[in-house]
Amino acid sequence: MAKIMIQGTGSSVGKSILVTALCRIFKQDGYSVCPYKSQNMSLNSYITHDGLEMGRAQVLQAYAAGLEPEAYMNPILLKPTSDKKCQIIFNGKVYGNSTAIGYHNLKLSFAEELKKQFKEIENKFDIVVIEGAGSPAEINLRDRDIVNMGLAEMVDAPVLLAGDIDKGGVFASLAGTMLLLTEEERKRVKGTIINKFRGDIEILKPGLTMLEDIIKIPSLGVVPHFNLDLEDEDGAVEFNKNTKGDIDVAVVKLPHISNFTDVDALKSEEDVSIRYITSKDNFGNPDLLIIPGTKNTIDDLLVLRESGLEDLIKAYSKEGFVIGICGGYQMLGKVLKDPYGVETEEEETLGMGLLDISTTFEKEKVTTRVKAKGSYGEVYGYEIHMGISSYGDKAKAMFTIYDENGKKVEKLDGAINERENILGTYIHGLFDGVDFREKVLNKIRVSKGLEEKKSLHYENLREKNLDILADLVRENMDIKEIYRIMGVKR
């Protein structure tokens, strides 16, 4: 069984997208291929068909490989709850909460399980494409590493080292990383990749030659900068991105924003622009305001309250169009109760009072895949939340869930006000389906005197973009040499 590992000189250098591209390339070439990242730190997560939680980056990689996303592709997911604390998801389920030093001391206890899991993956697939995290040159973490060189040694994987030229200093970062590796670790690095290049490749070529002379490692490609509507990792997304379109969608940039990929499908609409609100100054007058998910609903609500953004949201809601998703939905309610100290030491916090619901945070996390229908049409997606919301006398459910993890059910979800301009739901990914997205946007188009439009299937656009990505990387990297490194004869 063949394997290749992409490590990087730092975070956000393009490891995830390179793994995605290689998964699609190997699939196109007729191999069964599986993505794998032993440990991911992200607030963007996904629920698998069997109700397990995993990082979104490995979901896109699974799609690129033609697979249904499975939790074993990302066995450890760390979801930060503060600068020094996180929730640990292991094999798709909540393992517990930990401080940074607590998890550092815990890491090696997962090693045997990771090794066993990887062996099972090797037996199922022709090729495994592995993604590292951060940088292998984090020498303070070396003795307990289970995601970079520690993992490469554990599964005996050759490594390609990627650097980001867009930020500048790519030669120094590649050479510096190699300098800080041990001799055995350096032997594992079989090639370098320069990512996000803009400009004339002829000007760069002398530098590639000099770098090869310095580190004694060949350059296997220079991938140009590109713009494709594919999911971003937490650290890579440009939250200040602002494009112009007839429909202005504003997303509140919460301090602990999670699952912001919920709005990705809106990018497939030519007349829609998406921007992120970070203060009162850039609130503006959007056509649609989205309050997204968060890992800390109460803390983020208090930040909105202290900054004055809550008052603006309330004023806007009198005439505007508001959709709250998961934590954003909970904020729109009357009260948030936390009797078990799940999020805060405060037992009760007032919400915005825009929907007649109350939320209580429970000890157990809800993780389900769902299909639902309502006045805004059919939706499908997934739920990840600790809070359970109950309805008041004036509340009206937004959806009826009829399928939960493949089982027939009949459950109410979300809420909608009497004027139907304030909507809330626990369902992530609700814009991915054509029905809901089309109805919401056409309601806005009609209100602005614009012509109604048919929405496109987001999955089809994603597949098209994955093929474009694969073609671009294939043209600019030495894929034949990568096959040779893996020991695959072509």
Q: How confident is the model at residue 401, as a pLDDT?
A: 97
Would the pLDDT of 12 be above 80?
Answer: yes
d(CA 179, CA 188): 14
Helices marked H in 29-188 — which ranges? 56-64, 100-106, 111-124, 149-155, 170-180, 183-188
Q: Which of 23, 86, 256, 428 is catalytic?
A: 428
Domains in the chain: boundaries: 2-230+463-486, 247-449
pLDDT band, residue 314 (cuts 50/70/90): very high
For the full predicted model, state whether its pTM sits above 0.85.
Answer: yes
Q: How confident is the model at residue 346, as a pLDDT?
A: 84
Q: What is the pLDDT of residues 80-122, one digit of tens each?
A: 887 788 999 999 999 999 998 999 899 999 999 999 999 999 9
Q: What is the pLDDT of residues 193-229, one digit of tens each?
A: 999 999 999 999 999 999 999 999 999 999 999 888 7
Mean pLDDT for the stretch of residues 45-71: 95
| CATH top-level class of 2-230+463-486 | alpha beta
Residue carrying the six token digits 């900068």 = 225
Q: How confident is the model at residue 235, as a pLDDT?
A: 42
Burial (CB < 10 A; 0-12, 13-18, 19+), residue 318, is exposed
34 noted as active-site residue: no
326 noted as active-site residue: yes
Q: Which of 34, 256, 326, 385 is catalytic?
A: 326
Radius of gyration of the chain (CA): 23
CA-to-CA dists, residue 251 to 120, 126, 293, 303, 306, angstroms: 41, 41, 11, 15, 18
Q: What percent of the chain is predicted at pLDDT more than 90?
A: 84
The CATH number of domain 247-449 is 3.40.50.2000: no
- For residue 230, what is the enclosing H or E element? none
pLDDT band, residue 345 (cuts 50/70/90): confident
Q: How confident is the model at residue 243, as a pLDDT?
A: 58
